[in-house]
Amino acid sequence: MSTEKGGWLARLKKGLERTRVNIVGVFSGGVIDDALFDDLEVALLGADCGAATTSELLAALRDRIKLKGLKTPAEVRDALRDELTKLLAPCEARIDLERARPLVMMVAGVNGAGKTTSIGKLAHWLADQHKTVLLAAGDTFRAAAREQLAIWGERNGVEVIAQKSGDPAAVVFDAVAAARARGIDVLIADTAGRLPTQLHLMDELKRVKRSIGKAMDGAPHEVILVLDGTNGQNALAQVRAFDDAVGLTGLIITKLDGTAKGGVLAAIARERRGRPLPIYFIGVGEKLDDLQPFVAERFAAALVGAD
Ligand SMILES: Nc1nc2c(ncn2[C@@H]2O[C@H](COP(=O)(O)OP(=O)(O)O)[C@@H](O)[C@H]2O)c(=O)[nH]1
Ligand SMILES: [Mg+2]
């Protein structure tokens, strides 16, 4: 725990510092009054929680104050941490790596979200779990993306299936076939975030998904959207659009070590309350081990400063 605290958790806390300072400030006075609730509303909206999530959290807090007879701002802050944890908990889930071999993961997201970087980190994490990994360079639009993935592959001793002027659907088809032939545990397919203008990204992603399905029944087993955590409320629109197109099974939220405010995770959790969308990992830096499983309670504590 102590080494962890000095490492990624410290970076997460540093990243969420602005939000936490604002929220801690709200509870620094001596009394629970309307002004406190007004300030908290501003802080939660400012943290990218969104209007609906913010008003639900405030209502839940008012209920808790009455029900439990909370007397001090510090107690209300703990209650906020608990409400956030409750909201985020359904998003806490692990990928079941054993249910197929190869387990095929398709990774999607807009340009710059952190797909390729996260795939590199994921390959590293999987190697730690003693899984064999193959990567498919499905972002054939950008030569740089293919090279970037190749570098990640090299660092991890993981092979990358790529084609110089490839059609992404063909690349992933070949990669699934290769993974099956070699008895690989996990295949991760990178995809493009932007295409030559005449093509529609979502149509292309559907085609890539179908191609994976043709190469292996039941695949892809995971369709993961990578979201830039600094994008704020726009992340919700991305979740909807990609889910409509390719049916998401989970999320990776990156750059939570940077200027992200963090509340958008709560907004996503609220929107998907009826059918939770797992947040498998969060990205907290650019190094190989800067991808960490999402833990609702830790995240809520880092956001609210009550731990
Ligand atoms: N600080 C930080 N930077 C990240 C993280 N994840 C990705 N990045 C950076 O974001 C930029 C875009 O990442 P990339 O993987 O190329 O995005 P892609 O276009 O979706 O494949 C790169 O400069 C990455 O180093 C993260 O968790 N924290
Ligand atoms: Mg990329």
Q: Kindly state whether residue 195 falls inside one of the protein's structural domains.
A: yes
The distance of Cα 4 from the centroid of its chain, to the nearest Å, equals 20
Q: Are 38 and 183 part of one and the same domain?
A: no
Cα-to-centroid distance, 250 and ligand 1 (Å): 18
Cα-to-centroid distance, 160 and ligand 2 (Å): 14
Q: Are 116 and 84 part of one and the same domain?
A: no
Sheet strands (E) in 245-303:
250-254, 279-283, 291-293
What's the order of all strands across the beta sheet hosting 291-293?
159-161, 133-136, 186-189, 103-108, 222-228, 250-254, 279-283, 291-293
Q: Are 139 and 288 part of one and the same domain?
A: yes
Q: How far is 176 from 269, CA to CA, in rounded Å?
A: 32
Q: How far is 123 from 178, CA to CA, in rounded Å?
A: 17
Instruction: Give, using CA atoms, the residue closest to atom 6 of ligand 1.
Output: 114
Q: Kindly state whether residue 153 falls inside one of the protein's structural domains.
A: yes
Q: Is residue 283 within 6 Å of ligand 1 at its C-beta?
A: yes
Q: Kindly state whether residue 59 falls inside one of the protein's structural domains.
A: yes
Q: Are 38 and 128 part of one and the same domain?
A: no
Q: Is residue 121 within 6 Å of ligand 1 at its C-beta?
A: no
Per-residue pLDDT tens over the stretch 284-306: 999 988 999 999 999 999 999 86
Please state whether 157 falls in left (phi above 0), alpha (psi between -120 and 50) or beta: left
Q: Residue 132's domain is classified under what CATH number?
A: 3.40.50.300
If one counts the domains in the chain, the total is: 2
Q: Residue 17's domain is classified under what CATH number?
A: 1.20.120.140
pTM of the model: 0.95
**Environment class of residue 271 by beta-carbon count within 10 Å: exposed (0-12), middle (13-18) or buried (19+)?**
middle
Q: Are 47 and 122 part of one and the same domain?
A: no
Q: Is residue 113 within 6 Å of ligand 1 at its C-beta?
A: yes
Per-residue pLDDT tens over the stretch 75-91: 999 999 999 999 999 99
Give me the count of residues in the chain.
307
Q: Measured between alpha carbons, how far is residue 235 from residues 41, 89, 174, 230, 274 in Å?
A: 21, 19, 32, 9, 18
Q: Is residue 12 within 6 Å of ligand 1 at its C-beta?
A: no
Q: Is residue 229 within 6 Å of ligand 1 at its C-beta?
A: no
Of the residues 34, 60, 91, the one at which a domain ends? 91
Higher pLDDT, 307 or 291: 291
The pLDDT score that the predictor gives to residue 7 is 83
Segments in 69-187 forming alpha helices (H): 73-88, 115-128, 143-156, 168-182
Q: Are 123 and 221 part of one and the same domain?
A: yes
H helix or E strand, kind and range, residue 110: none
Q: Kindly state whether residue 302 falls inside one of the protein's structural domains.
A: no
Q: Is residue 230 within 6 Å of ligand 1 at its C-beta?
A: no
Nearest ligand, CA of residue 120? 1
Q: Are 258 and 280 part of one and the same domain?
A: yes
H helix or E strand, kind and range, residue 231: none
The distance of Cα 49 from the centroid of its chain, to the nearest Å, equals 16
Q: Are 238 and 155 part of one and the same domain?
A: yes
Task: Say whether pLDDT at 240 is over 70.
Answer: yes
Q: Kindly state whether residue 303 falls inside one of the protein's structural domains.
A: no
**Residues 227/238, Cβ–Cβ less than 8 Å:** yes
The pLDDT score that the predictor gives to residue 154 is 86
Of the residues 91, 125, 153, the one at which a domain ends? 91
Of the residues 47, 65, 91, the one at which a domain ends? 91
Instruction: Give, using CA atoms, the residue closest to atom 26 of ligand 1.
Output: 255
Q: Are 173 and 238 part of one and the same domain?
A: yes
Q: Kindly state whether residue 307 falls inside one of the protein's structural domains.
A: no
What SS3 class is residue 206?
Answer: helix
Write out the residue range of the structural domain in which residue 129 sits: 103-294
Q: Kindly state whether residue 299 falls inside one of the protein's structural domains.
A: no
Per-residue pLDDT tens over the stretch 2-55: 445 568 889 999 999 999 999 999 999 989 999 999 999 999 999 999 999 999
Q: Is residue 286 within 6 Å of ligand 1 at its C-beta?
A: yes
Q: Are 273 and 126 part of one and the same domain?
A: yes
Instruction: Give, using CA atoms, the residue closest to atom 1 of ligand 1.
Output: 285
Cα-to-centroid distance, 213 and ligand 1 (Å): 28
Which of 286, 287, 294 is the pocket-test mutation for ligand 1 (most atoms within 8 Å of CB)? 286
Q: Are 82 and 130 part of one and the same domain?
A: no
Residue with tokens 């710059």: 112
- Residue among 199, 198, 179 at smallest CA distance from 188: 179
Nearest atom (ligand 1) to Cα of 290: 27
The pLDDT score that the predictor gives to residue 307 is 66
Q: How far is 78 from 103, CA to CA, in rounded Å?
A: 40
Q: Is residue 16 within 6 Å of ligand 1 at its C-beta?
A: no
Q: How far is 29 from 192, CA to CA, in rounded Å?
A: 49
Q: Are 141 and 186 part of one and the same domain?
A: yes
Residue with tokens 């939770």: 276
Q: Kindly state whether residue 301 falls inside one of the protein's structural domains.
A: no
Tokens, residue 1: 């725990």
Per-residue pLDDT tens over the stretch 115-171: 999 999 999 999 999 999 999 999 887 778 788 888 888 888 899 998 876 799 999
Task: Say whether pLDDT at 1 is over 80.
Answer: no
Q: Is residue 258 within 6 Å of ligand 1 at its C-beta?
A: yes
Other Cβ atoms less than 10 A from the Cβ of 276: the count is 16
The pLDDT score that the predictor gives to residue 8 is 85
